[in-house]
Amino acid sequence: MINSPPRTKKSFRLSGTLATLGARYYPARGLRMSTSFQVSRERAVALHRNGHVDQAISAYLELLKQQPDSADLLGLLGVAKEHGGAPEEAERLLRLSLQDRTTVPLAYRNLNNLLGLLIESGRQEEAKSAAEAYSPDVWPPGRVPDTVEHDIIVSLVSALKDVGLADLALAIGLPHLSTMGKDVEFAMSIADLLHAAGRDDDAFAVLDRDFGPGEELPNLHAVRAALAYKRNDLAACRQSSHRFAVSMPILLSESTSSQQFVLAVFNRSPELVTDFREPHNHHYSSNFPSQLVKAFADRFRFMSVLADSPTAVDALRGMPRPALALNNVVNAEQLMVEDTLQRVSAFEDSLGVKVINHPKLAVQATRQKNSDRFADIPGIVFPKVYRYHSDKDQRLALIEEIESRCGYPVIIRTVFQQMGVGTQLVGDRQSLREALDKLEGFQFYAITYLPTCQSDGKFRSLRAAFINKQPLIIRADYSDHWNVRARRNPQRQDFYRKNPHLLDKANRIVLDPEYELGSNLYDKIKIVAEIMPLEIFGVDFDLAEDGNLIIFETNATMNLLSTSPKELEYPPQIEKKLRQILEKFLISQIAR
């Protein structure tokens, strides 16, 4: 679903607010209206608008004596009754007013107010039934909505979306798109309906115009980018993604009384916005810093800064000064592209505060450098890592070199992707050739495969979090597959439901790793802590039967807090301990 921004007014009931009660009079078809009646009606509406609800009700009742079936007066009286604290009578009157559904736009107004009353009281299903039962006639051809009618249409479309009547909302809203001027929020609402109906080309067309001041809305660019991606228009997606980063270089969380200080998180701008999520999710990747923001929202006020956005420097001037910063631009491969390291480092240093996992530290933690770093340490095995560029003209020579250095099977993975994306295990020359063909023109890693299968035929992976050189084992998992994934993966969940004894075994390791795996386990892990240059990072590893520590992965972006469903959760006391260590460390860094 497209996340449209909230309107400045309520998303429904706009025509029931006091400011809009003075909408034009809508006489039923064929009914003549006297001047004195119109004056009396306007006086009644003025009383209502000025808060004299009881007097307005009396005035409406007097007018109804002259026109007892007036849908206009019944609707106004219904709203007044609700304002006067009689919702049941208000509902009865609004339903009665909708016996006339041919007088449009009046029927739009009355239906909108009825749906608003029902939705606000939590009666979604009744609202849906009412919308289906009282669906109004089509809008009069050639009639351009005035300001109040504009709000009624917007509100009604929103209410129909709220109750799950997308088709009806689209049928009512789409014909008015051309008359809504530069109302970007309404256009995004219609685009949302079209997207939900599988009409992405039409949704893209709705937003493919100049909205004037609305062009400053960051979510407009994010939605345009996502729609372009769905249409496989990567150029348009990249352009709109860039405009999103330019229009929202900083995202400051809400302030609460329990927060101790502002903590800046330097993030990388999304190259391609590919889905319809809140701006928060386009600022933060699905990695550890995004977990930190959610877990400690009550302790720290987080400020995401897109470090590579051209407008970030100016935007910072109007923001509260952070007491501490966490660098999340930690992909060492990306930092080494052109002058990225110099630019990002200079920008982050300009804040004049301590930066955890500074870019100059992160750039030292490439897979290749880590492989060299652990190459000659007794008791620790790190796979050999070789970096290549896939070139079809050198394909055979490249294959032969990989075979000579790594043998089979060999792990082939992309340079820039994380979380196992772009990783495959290749078992023979033909498979290697096919893998390199897919990577034509790109850099990639060839990594020696270290067999770690347990005696029962299962694979195991442990994860340790490192906070200021202090290690803590936070995960243990088993799998039928060599690439052991976390428990949030549906296939992993199914595996544990079939193998509950392995779930129990894994959790016992997390609770007491030295008892389960040997008393010298932490001695080896502490060596990793001392050698790695980062202050907060994670390591995936296993302990071989010969006692060697086999390292699979180490970086600053992996999730350290649990992402598992409750029934497959890791021991909660370990998660609690990790949070305590994290909070203590963050607070300790302020004075530095």
DSSP state of 7: P
Burial class of 161 by CB neighbour count within 10 A (0 to 12, 13 to 18, 19+): buried
pLDDT digits (tens, 9 = 90+) for 199-212: 999 999 999 989 99
Is-contact 472 465, C-beta < 8 A? yes
Q: Which residues of 420-432 are buried (b: 16+ CB within 10 A; e: fewer)?
A: eebbbbbeeeebb
Residue 155 and residue 179 share a domain: yes
In a domain, 535, yes or no: yes
In a domain, 7, yes or no: no
Give residue for tokens 């099977």.
Answer: 409
140, two tokens: 């009069």
Residue 557 and residue 528 share a domain: yes
Residue 7 has pLDDT above 70, yes or no: no
pLDDT of residue 301: 97
pLDDT digits (tens, 9 = 90+) for 40-96: 888 998 899 888 999 999 999 999 999 999 999 999 999 999 999 999 999 999 999
Is-contact 474 418, C-beta < 8 A? no
Residue 271 and residue 123 share a domain: no
Average pLDDT over residues 217-239: 94
Phi, psi angles (nearest 5°) of residue 180: -90, 5
Nearest CA to 508 among 486, 475, 483, 481? Answer: 475
pLDDT digits (tens, 9 = 90+) for 321-343: 999 999 999 988 788 888 999 99
CATH number where 39 lies: 1.25.40.10
In a domain, 453, yes or no: no
pTM of the predicted model, to two decimals? 0.81
pLDDT of residue 411: 93
Residue 179 and residue 123 share a domain: yes
pLDDT of residue 147: 86
pLDDT digits (tens, 9 = 90+) for 153-179: 999 999 999 999 999 999 999 999 888
Residue 411 and residue 312 share a domain: no
Orientation of helix 166-173 relative to helix 184-196, angle to 10°: 140
CATH number where 429 lies: 3.30.1490.20
Residue 506 and residue 413 share a domain: no
pLDDT of residue 332: 80
CATH number where 507 lies: 3.30.470
Residue 542 and residue 402 share a domain: no
Residue 32 has pLDDT above 80, yes or no: no
Average pLDDT over residues 220-235: 94
How far are the Cα atoms of 287, 299, 474, 476, 514 from residue 577, in angstroms, in the given order?
A: 20, 16, 10, 16, 17
In a domain, 290, yes or no: yes
Residue 579 and residue 468 share a domain: yes
In a domain, 575, yes or no: yes
The model's confidence at residue 354, banded by pLDDT at 50, 70 and 90, is very high
Residue 211 and residue 92 share a domain: yes
Residue 209 and residue 64 share a domain: yes
State how many domains the chain has. 4
Residue 484 and residue 437 share a domain: no
Distance separating alpha carbons of residues 444 and 476, to the nearest angstrom: 28
Residue 22 has pLDDT above 50, yes or no: no
257, two tokens: 């009384």
Chain mean pLDDT for the chain: 88
Poorest-pLDDT segment among 80-84, 275-279, 381-385, 418-422: 418-422
In a domain, 201, yes or no: yes
In a domain, 345, yes or no: yes
In a domain, 477, yes or no: yes
Distance separating alpha carbons of residues 312 and 332, to the nearest angstrom: 22
Distance separating alpha carbons of residues 195 and 9, to the nearest angstrom: 24
Distance separating alpha carbons of residues 44 and 550, to the nearest angstrom: 81
Residues of the domain holding 306: 245-357
Residue 521 and residue 490 share a domain: yes
Residue 454 has pLDDT above 90, yes or no: no
At a CB cut-off of 8 Å and minimum separation 6, what does 145 contact?
A: 105, 152, 153, 176, 179
Residue 234 neighbours by CB distance under 10 Å: 14
